[in-house]
Structure 1
Amino acid sequence: MKIISGPLLVAVLGTSLLSGCVPRIEVATPKDPITINMNVKIEHEIHIKVDKDVDNLLKTQSGLF
């Protein structure tokens, strides 16, 4: 029987030890529901540019809209 020594022995032992370390990945859902708080304030400013003739028409004919 031949005795293994030196770097070969270290390589064999290292490989056998590392092969037992298998990482475990676990995916689990949270126990509490996910809550998303969205406090959003939206403000709009609309500027309308009209022709002078249309502007005069809107002033004189206020019942159009």
Structure 2
Amino acid sequence: MLGSGLATGCISVNAPSEPIVIELNINITQEVIYRLAADAGNTIDENADIF
């Protein structure tokens, strides 16, 4: 059993020839939505009679 484990070969790990490129497309909308919500709240407070 020990001999069969040694005869399986070896593993080699090589670095890629080209650089690794990671593209991140992140859409940040939380701040915009927060500002719109605050503006809407202010509008409702200022015009409570029409709601």
Give the TM-score band, short-chain normalised.
0.3 to 0.5
Relative to the length of structure 2, the TM-score reads 0.44
Relative to the length of structure 1, the TM-score reads 0.37
Larger relative contact order (Cα-Cα within 8 Å, sequence gap ≥ 6):
2
More helix by share: 2
